[in-house]
Structure formats: structure tokens, C-alpha cells
Amino acid sequence: MRNKRLLVLAGLICAALATAGISFAMVKSGGVSGISATFSATNVVRDVQKSCTVNGGDTYTYTRAVYTGTAVSSDARMNGPIKLWIQSMVDDTTGIGALIGNYNIGDDKSGSYGRIEASLVAGQADGSVRGHVRLPWGELFAGLSGAYAPTGGFTNGSIGAGDGAQSGVVLSRGECVHVIYLH
């Protein structure tokens, strides 16, 4: 009888330890998941524009501006108010240029933030986003696309909403991700 109690107790302890181990492994494993958002940021909060014409007749326009708007996503970390701090340089003759900047979605406690780099052709921005998502934390890698006008901001913007190179991925913290930490 005493051995049966000991066996039952040992079985319960093993089950409890196994359950705790599985829970711990799930918390520590991290992972890779898809993520995307669409956005519009047409409210120009602050801007500075300068133009210059070079020999040959091309005119270049440099813009440094802050745009605000709204991002929409099924993932709460990419859903909410968006603010973009952007610098762009465009050849007004050809419509070709580039933009760089930072973005923030949500607030300081949740949401996403990071860096944007894109080429510009005829008012269309195509590039990449490298950032972070918060609560739960993760590293964000995504494509960026949308219409961009220096004086009007972004319309029909998307982060990670395309296929292939335009898709969005979050690497979540865990043992495997820690080993290949990309920061």
C-alpha cells in the first residue's frame, strides 16, 4: 500500500514537472510570425523644403517633414496612431528620389517603432522597414510601399502587406532567436 502511494506521488510530481517544462519551453522558444499593417499619414505636422537647380537644368527638392495618421492591423502592436519623421530628396525633372526616416505606431508602452528606407519613383515609395514591436517584444523586418508626396505625406501605405520581399516578419525573443540575435 505504501509503495502505491509513493508511485502515485512520484507520478504526480513527474507530471507537474513535465507540464512546467513544456510551459517553460514554450515561453523560451521564441518564434517567427507574419505581421502587416496599412496606413495613411497625410497630416503634415512640420515641414522644411529646399530646392536647388544644377547645371543641366535638373531641380532637386529636399524635404524634412513629420507626418501623422492612422495604421490599421489585426496585430495590436501595428494598430493605432502613426507618426513618421521623414527626409526625402527628389529629382523634380525625373520624379526619382529616395526617403529615409523613423516611424512610431501606438505609444511608448505598446506598438512598433523603427527605421524606414525607400526609393521613390513617380510618387511611389518602395522600400523596407527595420524595427521593433512591443508587448510582446520582437524584431520587425518588412517591406514598405505606398504613395508619397513631400507636401502631402503617405496614402495607401503598407508595411509588410505584400508578397515575397514585401511581406512582414517578426522574430520573437526566445532561445533560438537569442542565438541569432540580429541587433
**Higher confidence at residue 114 or residue 165?**
114
Considering only 27-31, 62-66, 102-106, 137-141, which range has the smallest mean pLDDT?
A: 27-31
**Higher confidence at residue 71 or residue 8?**
71
Please name each of the domains of the chain with its CATH number: 31-179 (2.40.350)
Residue 112 to residue 139: CA distance in whole angstroms: 10
User: Cell numbers at residue 21, please?
Assistant: 517544462
**How high is the pLDDT of residue 27?**
43
Residue 68 to residue 42: CA distance in whole angstroms: 6
User: Cell numbers at residue 134, please?
Assistant: 512591443
**Mean pLDDT value across the chain:** 83
**How high is the pLDDT of residue 46?**
87
User: Where residue 108 falls among pLDDT bands split at 50, 70, 90?
Assistant: confident
User: Where residue 12 falls among pLDDT bands split at 50, 70, 90?
Assistant: very low
In the chain, where do the E strands start and end?
31-34, 37-53, 59-72, 80-91, 96-106, 111-121, 124-134, 138-149, 153-159, 168-172
Read off the pLDDT of residues 139-167 as tens digits, 9 standing for 90 and up: 999 999 999 999 999 999 999 987 777 78
**How high is the pLDDT of residue 11?**
55
User: Does pLDDT of 176 surpass 70?
Assistant: no
Residue 55 to residue 164: CA distance in whole angstroms: 41
Could you identify the residue written with the cell 509513493?
6
pTM given for the model? 0.78
**How high is the pLDDT of residue 56?**
82
Residue 133 to residue 120: CA distance in whole angstroms: 26
User: What DSSP designation does 86 have?
Assistant: E
